[in-house]
Amino acid sequence: MDAGLKGRGNVGFPTGMKWKFAKREESAEKYVICNANESETGTFKDREILERVPRKVLSGMAICGYCTGAKKGIIYLRYEYAYLKEQLQNELNIFHEHIKKFNLDFAIEIFLGGGSYVSGEESALIESMEGKRAEPRNKPPYPVISGLYGLPTVVNNVETFATAQVICAIGAEEFLKLGTVYSPGSKLFSISGDTIKPGIHELELGTTIEEVVNEFGDKNTKSVQVGGASGFCIPHRLFAETVIGYEGLTTGGSMIFFNNTRSMYKVLHEYLRFFAEESCGLCTPCRIGTQQLLLGIEAIKRGDRPAGYMDVLKKLALNMKTSAKCGLGQSVANPFISILENFKEEILY
Amino acid sequence: MEKTLINLTINNIPVSVQKGSTILDAAHKINMHIPTLCYHPDLKVAGNCRVCVVEVAGTKELITACSTAVTEGMIVTTNSYKVRTARKTIVELLLSEHNADCTKCYRNGNCELQWLASEYRIGDHVYHDLVKEEEKQPDSTSLCIIKDDSKCVRCQRCVRTCSDLQDVGTFSVINKGKKQKVSTFYGKPLKDVFCIDCGQCTSRCPTAALTEKPLYEEVWDALADTGKHVVIATTPAVRVAIGEELGFEYNKHSDSKIIAALRLLGFDSVVDSGYFHDIYIVELCTEFMLKMKQDNENAAKTILPYITSCSPGWVEFVSTKCPEIKPLLSQCKSPRLIFGSLIKTYYADKKALNPKDIITVSVTPCTAAKNESTQSMTGIADVDFSITTRELVRMIRQSGIDIQRLDAEDYEPLMCEHSGASVLTEVSGGTTEAVIRTLSELVTGNELDPKMLKIMPLRSEHGIKETVLTFSEVRTGWEFLKDQEIRFAAVNGSRHAMDFFKQLKENQKHYHFAEVMICQGGCIGGGGQPIPVSAELIKARASILYSLDEICGQQKAHENARLNAIYREFLTKTELKENQKILYY
């Protein structure tokens, strides 16, 4: 709570508050779920965490269990990460032995996901664990009140649990030395694209894009997509003023660099194609909206629709943001509008 | 029950509703209309279509009124610019995915998407047409239901109806994103998958993605054929509901005006369906009594409960989901088929007509009845055309008849009387009541205690309704029933059929007689009834039927004086084997 840790997924909900809500619920059974359905484009930090420092994550989950009163933990592992299962299971065996010493009643199991992007949305993740289609639920109630099988459930990102463990180890004061008032601490970033140093790097929150580009860019960086397909595209002219953090750009850690040789039309097209495939199809704005945005930019490119059709599409994207059922449909507007506004010519011609 | 009241404002109008109510409930209370599409009062809330989005102060995104519970001090706006543009966009999007060829559509004029479009949209299509060519070919393989994917708006009402309301599960959602759709098992044609044809999906589909398979054009053709003698019977459930769509309230004069309307449509003969229902009850009762006798004589293996089979689709349900009880089903034909077979035998005889020249049209609230085809002893179909309430409404509309203005007319005298019991057979629990009335008098030989004319446990809305009967006096031959408990059950909707089956299987309950209706509320809640449907409407229809029973001079099926004639002159005279073919499967 004192450390002011915010979720290390894409949303950035204050972790302490989430745990407090779950603690407040009176229930004999509660769940702690580690969201390892890492499917955002350009992010691979959770995989590395689970591979290299799984104990941090497991301890973080146990700490959460201790705080909220949950006795069961589940790791929702993305289907594509199935190869990690055996290694994780070995770690779990050691962990379960170890935890006995603390007299803590907390057991963790692994659940293998089905491979859909929307399962990363916490309520869709829970639906999928219950054996149903991975589709988001109506909220409220939020999972902390009524989650898995209707029981209070905390769902956090892999990195969030790992960071929680770190905070407990070094103390909130030490954690707060890094970052800003709104975005305390440091965070892992998955750096990819046209960069000289691809990989996972830990950065202090509050850093500007410019600093990041100077460090990682290939000198020709045109734009940086922060937060994956559902994030924002930052053009060169905004590098200096854009701060990474909850006061600026909230991100799950994906940073994709595009240099001068890249067509932003193709980038946007690829993102929209991704969304039209990965929307669960449940709600109207997301199911149809994603298809219309994709067909729309194709039609403009071909010249079948006038340039003014961009405004229709922009309005559609904004309406999707306000009326879609979950984060997926709501965030399509982020890349769409940021790319459209900053690279209008590339979309048109 | 939570009694706490929650205070909120909707468009600055204060309103207090019970805790747990949704924003939509609160809006209804102050007559503030919020459009909906995937929402249906009979079904679980989905929140898919997003048409009902509203703005709530303090929330960035819009939220759905159907799924969001009210909170104290909530400030709701239902008509802000943000809400209106979002809604309009959603309607535009839905239209882009929909085969909006309205003038050719079966639901033209009674389509929820069309209404939304007329409210929110003027002008040309804004977006690309997403309707896939392959979807434009509807699945019309089933005899009862047509599925047209090009009209589907993915509201999933059908999925919820079929799984939650009917416990059948013919439809489910497959794929994701742009490929997402409502599908049958492996996308097989409707005729090849488990579907009981109840039609509940067709009366809840907001568009024409699911409709009954209409036969009224064929009926028009028959009426135009001068060589054919067309006989029609309408059931009470049809008559009490018809006004809902034609805009009049049912009263004691309605039946005779409907008869006049049917003659105006060109039907040569209009017979009273109640007459056949009475025969059905008498036969059902007889078969049941024989079964009890056999059961008593053969102690080794029970052949009870005796289970009704008059609800079409129930047999299909049993065959697939609980085939073990199939031998227990009644062999007695449904009243509709009795109508058909008697018209083509007894009636043809009396009227000196060739059965081949007779066309029988049965109007029922049932879509599954279209599937029911058996042959009468003459080797031709009992019922030629089975049409729904909705199709009859269409015929009346097409002919420009104003039922209210017609003079009263009577049924064909040969088949014109009915008992109160016959009316009850169309409401859940009613067949059981009707059987109890006749059974009591047949077994005891005494007149029924008037108190037994209203068995309240059978009139509840419960899933499995029960009652017990004991006779202190019995006629010779029925001594084994003396002071014995005879247990009756009435299953209200296929949703409860599996519970009932489980009870039987685990030997928790032992019944003698069980009535099963696959539609909630009985025939009055049938899938072919006017749209919209709701639990409240079904309740209203039931109360009309109960009052029709009470005002009927004779309330017991076997008291129907006309039955004497047919039994004396025809049914007991024909060879037993042939009689079997007329009334039994």
pLDDT, tens digit (0-9, with 9 covering 90-100), for A257-288: 999 999 999 999 999 999 999 999 999 999 99
Q: Are B127 and A325 a contacting pair at CB < 8 A? A: no
Q: Which CATH superfamily is domain A15-175 in?
A: NADH-ubiquinone oxidoreductase 51kDa subunit (3.40.50.11540)
Nearest to B127 among A292, A321, A322 (CB): A292
Matching CATH number, A178-259, of 3.40.50.300, 3.10.20.600, 3.40.50.2300, 3.40.50.880: 3.10.20.600
Nearest to A284 among B68, B82, B90 (CB): B90
Chain B residues with CB under 8 Å of A283 CB are 47-50
Chain B: residue whose CA lies nearest to A281: B177
CA angle A318, A321, A326 (to 5 degrees): 165
Residue that is written with structure tokens 């049912």 in the block:
B250
C-alpha distance from B320 to closest chain A C-alpha (Å): 24
C-alpha distance from B246 to closest chain A C-alpha (Å): 33
Nearest to A285 among B45, B68, B90 (CB): B90
State how far the Cα of A20 lies from the Cα of A6, in Å rounded to an integer. 13
Give me the domains of chain B, ranges plus CATH numbers: 5-79 (3.10.20.740), 104-111+121-212 (3.30.70.20), 227-276+334-415 (3.40.50.1780), 281-331+419-562 (3.40.950.10)
Chain A residues with CB under 8 Å of B178 CB are 276-277, 279, 281, 287, 290-291
Residue that is written with structure tokens 């409707």 in the block:
B190
* Residue A194 near residue A262, CB atoms below 8 Å: yes
Nearest to A284 among B49, B82, B178 (CB): B49
Hey, what CATH topology would domain A264-348 get? de novo design (two linked rop proteins) (1.20.1440)
Chain B residues with CB under 8 Å of A302 CB are none
- Within 140-199 of B, beta carbons closer than 8 Å to A belong to 153-154, 173, 175-180
Chain A: residue whose CA lies nearest to B68: A140
Q: Are A319 and B96 a contacting pair at CB < 8 A? A: no
User: Best of A316, A323, A330 to disrupt the B interface by mutation (most B CBs within 10 Å)?
Assistant: A323
Give the model's pLDDT for residue B510.
Answer: 85
A290 interfacial to chain B (CB closer than 8 Å): yes
Chain A residues with CB under 8 Å of B176 CB are 116, 118, 277-281
Residue that is written with structure tokens 């013919």 in the block:
B170
Give the model's pLDDT for residue B237.
Answer: 94
Contacts across the A-B interface (CB distance below 8 Å): 115
C-alpha distance from A1 to closest chain B C-alpha (Å): 24
Q: Are B47 and A279 a contacting pair at CB < 8 A? A: no
A180 interfacial to chain B (CB closer than 8 Å): no
Chain B: residue whose CA lies nearest to A289: B93
Nearest to A323 among B62, B68, B175 (CB): B62
Q: Say whether the ipTM exceeds 0.90.
A: yes
The pLDDT averaged over each successive group of 10 residues in chain B (585 residues) is 84 96 97 96 94 95 96 96 95 95 94 94 87 92 95 96 94 94 95 94 96 95 94 95 93 92 95 92 90 82 86 89 90 90 90 92 94 68 93 95 93 89 93 93 87 91 92 87 91 92 82 93 95 93 93 86 80 66 75
C-alpha distance from B235 to closest chain A C-alpha (Å): 40
State how far the Cα of B216 lies from the Cα of B389, in Å rounded to an integer. 11
SS3 at position A168:
helix
A283 interfacial to chain B (CB closer than 8 Å): yes
Q: Are B89 and A321 a contacting pair at CB < 8 A? A: no
C-alpha distance from A272 to closest chain B C-alpha (Å): 11
Chain A: residue whose CA lies nearest to B96: A288
C-alpha pair distances (Å), B202 with each of A36, B103, B112, B152, B207:
42, 19, 13, 12, 9
Mean residue pLDDT of chain A comes to 93
Helix (H) or strand (E) run with residue B184 in it: none
Which two three-digit tokens encode residue B303? 């052949």
A250 interfacial to chain B (CB closer than 8 Å): no
* Residue B545 near residue B240, CB atoms below 8 Å: yes
A1 pLDDT tier (thresholds 50, 70, 90): low
Listed by start position, the domains of chain A span: 15-175, 178-259, 264-348
For residues B273-289, b (16+ Cβ closer than 10 Å) or e, as one string?
bbbbbbbbbbbbbbbbb
Domains A15-175 and A178-259 share a fold: no
B375 interfacial to chain A (CB closer than 8 Å): no
C-alpha distance from A27 to closest chain B C-alpha (Å): 20
Q: For the whole model, what pTM was predicted? A: 0.92
C-alpha distance from A328 to closest chain B C-alpha (Å): 11
Exposure of B584 by Cβ count < 10 A (0-12 exposed, 13-18 middle, 19+ buried)? middle
C-alpha B25: how far from its chain's center? 27
Q: Are A330 and B47 a contacting pair at CB < 8 A? A: no
Nearest CA-CA partner of A7 in A150, A142, A159: A159
Exposure of A198 by Cβ count < 10 A (0-12 exposed, 13-18 middle, 19+ buried)? middle
Which two three-digit tokens encode residue B232? 């029609």
A118 interfacial to chain B (CB closer than 8 Å): yes
Chain B: residue whose CA lies nearest to A278: B177
Residue that is written with structure tokens 């970052």 in the block:
A179
Exposure of B351 by Cβ count < 10 A (0-12 exposed, 13-18 middle, 19+ buried)? middle
User: Best of A133, A142, A288 to disrupt the B interface by mutation (most B CBs within 10 Å)?
Assistant: A288
Nearest to B86 among A290, A295, A323 (CB): A323
| Long-range Cβ contact pairs of B532-538 (< 8 A, separation 24 or more) | B532/B203, B533/B42, B533/B203, B533/B204, B534/B41, B534/B42, B535/B41, B535/B42, B536/B41, B537/B241, B537/B244
Chain B: residue whose CA lies nearest to A321: B61
Nearest to B82 among A138, A287, A322 (CB): A322
Chain B residues with CB under 8 Å of A290 CB are 177-178
Q: Are B89 and A323 a contacting pair at CB < 8 A? A: yes
B85 interfacial to chain A (CB closer than 8 Å): yes
Q: Are A278 and B90 a contacting pair at CB < 8 A? A: no
Chain B: residue whose CA lies nearest to A115: B176
Residue A160 vs residue A6, higher pLDDT: A160
C-alpha B545: how far from its chain's center? 14
The strand ranges marked E within chain A are 31-36, 72-77, 107-112, 153-157, 186-193, 199-204, 221-226, 232-235, 254-259
Chain B: residue whose CA lies nearest to A276: B177
Confidence check: pLDDT of A2 > 70: no
Nearest to A291 among B60, B130, B173 (CB): B130
Give the model's pLDDT for residue B377.
Answer: 60
C-alpha distance from B389 to closest chain A C-alpha (Å): 33
Which two three-digit tokens encode residue A14? 């204050």
Chain A: residue whose CA lies nearest to B152: A284
